[in-house]
Amino acid sequence: MNKGVEFKNISKRYGTDKAASLAVDSISFEIPKGSLTTILGPSGCGKTTLLRCIAGLESYQGDVLYDGQNVADLPPKDRGIGIAAEN
């Protein structure tokens, strides 16, 4: 498979105590380079949070890889990812 983006055990929790909200819980999947991928789910399931993690706009646990390279230490401006939101 020609890997474009790979997610390995991505988790995001808002807050630091035990009552902190878990927005994304150990998600792992691959998106082949050049493919069109849609993330679907109900309101509040973590879709936007996952996209923000990909773009480097949220801290997260796990690994995001672009073409096999871990981008955890890259700032958002160097990731080449953009997000557009509709209100």
Tell me what the mean pLDDT of segment 1-8 comes to: 80
Q: What's the pLDDT at 1?
A: 52
pLDDT in tens, 7-47: 999 999 888 877 788 889 999 999 998 888 888 999 988 89
List for the chain the helix, strand, coil content (%; round to 5). Answer: 15, 35, 50
What pTM value is reported for the model? 0.79
Report the alpha-carbon angle 76-65-49, nearest 5: 55
